[in-house]
Amino acid sequence: MTTATEPPLLFTPLRLRELTVRNRMWVSPMCQYSVAERDGVPTDWHLVHLGGRAAGGFGLVMTEGTAVTPDGRISPQDAGLWNDAQAEAWARVVAFVHGQGAAAGIQLAHAGRKASTYAMALERDGTIPAAAGGWTPVGPSPVAYPGLDVPHELTHDGIAAVVAAFGAAAARADRAGFDLLELHGAHGYLIHQFLSPLSNFRTDGFGGSFENRTRFLREVVAAVRASWPEGKPLSVRFSGSEWAGGGWTLEETGELARRLGPLGVDLVDVSSGGVVAPQERVTVGPGYQVGFAREVRKLSGLPTAAVGMITEPAQAEEILVEGSADVVLFGRVALREPAWPLRAAAELGVPRDAAPYPTQYLKGAWPRSGPVRERRNADR
């Protein structure tokens, strides 16, 4: 599947603004629930988690959804970027990732009405009460996500404060050395809550029409772009489908992405679902969300990233070859196989000197080349 002059598309660099990423296999944002409770400071776990996948050959590794305010966390165990101590801890992670030849991305997020919940590892549902360390969530409207507490409706001043928090977090992300910034506008979190008619029932300038429901995200993009360097790319993650009638649509995703391009957005990361999960009817299977990325790419004219049960090298390569996306994001498979790109290199016939092996791992490169050495030398 490869020649000396035509490597697989998965292994070709991608340039966005002044950033060149070594390949198109990126690690998707995934919550780790691994900070000390309530301080939001990333730990050695984040260093090993993200650093290990950078060493494993991924072109870019993305942080979990990183909260821009304390009340914007999904759980008390989530990482944040609302203060300088958090930025300093992230800088250590970024430096190691860069040392492995990979780019570092950060996803900035606010959970909105889905905040103050128990970490997934605790296997408990519901909103954490204040007496147990929780807080009252906020949202565009005082309507609860099923099974959670009713949020406070954000006032105009409250909206302005959240927008400013995104901008301040972007400035810290730059100081920490991140290369790419993504805004989490999917999976039923705050930005998505404003976009969707299933969670936004406002009658002011932030609700009702498409123009009004998209206003919050457009203001966030403007605030972030004012703090984020011109040469660094900005991405937005959308839910291309809510898998529920009457909600945010794929066509609206494409139209909003098209409008965001001139505002400074460079890549659209297309996932699905999350705003009314118990009502959703999701058809799941290999590559089940790729069509969303393909359609948004066509409608918006922007590069897209595809995600969702993409597990095999040939499958991922075909997504790029057919023009469905420009990047493939890997989630669960990257948890199982931190060096998935090295397997992909072997299966797609990429020579070892063109595969993203760290020097320390060259003994494990496949196929082996050169003269057979005595065992005692090979094992040194």
Catalytic machinery residues: 189
Tokens of 230: 């011109």
Closest CA to 307 of 178, 185, 315: 315
- Which amino acid is present at 292? F
DSSP per-residue string spanning 53-105 = HHHTT-SEEEEEEEESSGGG-SSTT--B-SSHHHHHHHHHHHHHHHHTT-EEE
Instruction: Kindly provide the residue ranges of all beta strands, DSSP E only, lying in the chain, ordered along the sequence.
Output: 14-16, 19-21, 25-27, 60-67, 103-109, 138-139, 152-153, 180-185, 234-239, 267-271, 304-306, 327-330
Cβ distance 129 to 204 under 8 Å? no
CA neighbor of 108 nearest in space, from 218, 182, 42, 34:
182
State how far the Cα of 146 lies from the Cα of 142, in Å rounded to an integer.
12
12 by Cβ neighbours in 10 Å (0-12 / 13-18 / 19+) ranks as middle
If we measure between CA atoms, which residue out of 171, 269, 300, 156 comes closest to residue 225?
Answer: 171
> Cα 133 from chain centroid?
27
Structure tokens at 273: 């679902």
| Gap between the Cα atoms of 177 and 281, Å rounded | 40
Query: Kindly report the CA angle at 176 between 359 and 270, in degrees rounded to 5?
Result: 80
What does the alpha-carbon distance between residue 379 and residue 158 come to, in Å, rounded to a whole number?
61
Amino acid at 280: E
283 SS3 class: coil
Cβ pair 63, 183 in contact under 8 A: no
